[in-house]
Structure 1
Amino acid sequence: MSSEMIFLSILGAILIGAMSPGPSFVLVSRTAIAQGRSAGIAAALGMGVGGACLGGLALLGLSALLLRAEAVFLLVKVLGGLYLVYLGFRIFRDASAPITFESGGPDRAKSLGGNLVMGLLIQLSNPKTVIVYGSIFAALLPAEPEHWLMFTLVPMLFGIEAGWYLVVALVFSANAPRRAYMRAKIWIDRAAGAVMAGLGIRLAAEGISSRIW
């Protein structure tokens, strides 16, 4: 298989994974609806940075190290799950709080930075992602890949993760979704919080049960 075909195969596999619904989708879509396009874009860029970081770790072989260091892997898994539970609780708790759309200035810049960090942390909260990346690379990369292929994988991961969630942010920050959100904010936020917490409980439970059994 040519290097070009390998590149496209990896791109397709990771794009399918990025498009799978999960906590990242919940966070970006809700951020875009509730806080606006800029906030959603900031969260999407955070997802891209997180994806690039995890891809870099996979290329360095740390995915295999995580699998061998079972206790570390499970600890990260449990902590990531608990972080998602915490986020879900906050969203659920603040469901009835009114929204004030920011008009600009330092507070808005701080909020955008916070959304970017939030996207990054959500992406890094699930250590299974680096294992998935490592598995895709192990399955598709040749023993001696061309240099250009290795150098483009991390930027490609950033482009896929950030690009997909930019689309999500642009779609959900449109006027129609925002009007619908404002009409049913309490129930949408409670549903989003419950989903986020549920995914976190599942992730943490996987880590705890793996350690016990």
Structure 2
Amino acid sequence: MTLAAFVAIYFVHLAAAMSPGPAVLLGVRTSLREGFVRGTWLAVGIGLGACVWAAAAMFGLAILFKIAPALLTTLKFAGAAYLLYLAFKMWRHAAEPMTTELDEVVSARSNLGLVWQGIATQLANPKPAVFFGTIFLTFIPPHAPVWAYAVILGIVFFNDAGWNVVMARIFSLARSRAIYIGLKTHIDRVFGGLLGLLGLKLALT
């Protein structure tokens, strides 16, 4: 593969990673409530989840979905159910004070738990599967060497995790958190509502 091909893959995927979605939304909220470090752990999980979709696409996911379309439908509804569950939790706890809720969350979830939540959030949304199985694959030449696949997965992780680390830094700043504390109930309900809408959209399209 040429350097130009890797550059093209980098920018095409970066645009997809930066587009708003459940993972970015959850990353922003986690950083607001729990700080930069925990938002970064979630970002690592988001990057790993993107790598799972990318690897699956490079090794025949698109073909599998054509052979067994019911699999994509199953993934879609399972993902929608997970997003609606997260939306319900956000909405239900929106009115609780941040200090008490934060202590409970920190004690209940380890850093590894945040990584797994990032992975689960990515895998719950089959939209990346469509991106990686269509647009993404057109930039990878047939019979690319094995080392090229490793580099591409590194690009995918760097883009998805890196962008969400940037978001974690921005939304963990003292000013951002102060605004959040003052408007916590409204912001959490907006976030919950958006996640719910994304879940419904996923189920109905």
| TM-score, with structure 1 as normaliser | 0.89
- 2:12 is aligned to 13
Contact 1:81 1:125 in 2 (8 A): yes
Q: Is the 8 A contact 2:98 2:184 kept in 1?
A: no
1:23 aligns with 22
Q: Could you tell me whether the CA contact under 8 Å between 2:27 and 2:167 is conserved in 1?
A: yes
Higher deviation after alignment, 81-90 or 123-132: 123-132
1:49 deviation in Å? 0.7
Match in the other structure for 1:211: none
Distance (Å, rounded) in 1 between the aligned partners of 2:192 and 2:137: 36
Query: Structure 1: which 5+ residue stretches go unaligned?
Result: 207-213
Tell me which amino acid in the other structure corresponds to 2:3.
E
Q: Distance in 2 between matches of 1:128 and 1:64?
A: 16
Q: Identity of aligned pairs, percent?
A: 33
2:86 counterpart residue number: 87
Q: Give me the CA root mean square deviation.
A: 1.6
Pairs within 5 Å for 1:26-175: 26-100=25-99, 101-102=102-103, 107=107, 110-175=109-174
2:52 counterpart SS class: helix
Structure 2 alignment gaps of length 5 or more: none
Q: What amino acid is aligned across from residue 132 of structure 2 in structure 1? A: Y
Distance 1:71 1:146 in 2: 32
Aligned residues: 201
Contact 1:85 1:200 in 2 (8 A): yes
1:186 aligns to 2:185 (yes or no): yes
Contact 1:3 1:149 in 2 (8 A): no
The answer to whether the 8 A contact 1:64-1:131 is kept is no
Identify the range of structure 1 (197-206 vs 128-137) with the bigger mean alpha-carbon deviation. 128-137
Q: Residue deviations 1:102-147, cap 9 Å, x none?
A: 5xxx937x43222222111111111231221121343122223244
The 1-side partners of 2:137 and 2:186 are apart by 43
93-102 or 185-194: bigger deviation? 93-102
- Please state whether the residue corresponding to 1:143 is helix, strand or coil: coil
Q: Distance in 2 between matches of 1:140 and 1:196?
A: 31
Q: Tell me if the contact between 2:58 and 2:137 (Cα under 8 Å) persists in the aligned partners.
A: no
Give the alignment's TM-score, normalised by structure 2. 0.92
Distance in 1 between residues matched to 2:14 and 2:128, nearest whole Å:
13
Q: Distance in 2 between matches of 1:49 and 1:147?
A: 19
SS of alignment partner, residue 96 of structure 1: coil
TM-superposed CA distance for 1:24, in Å, is: 1.2
Residue number in structure 2 paired with 1:196: 195
Structure 2 CA distance for partners of 1:98 and 1:111, relative to 1, 3 Å: farther
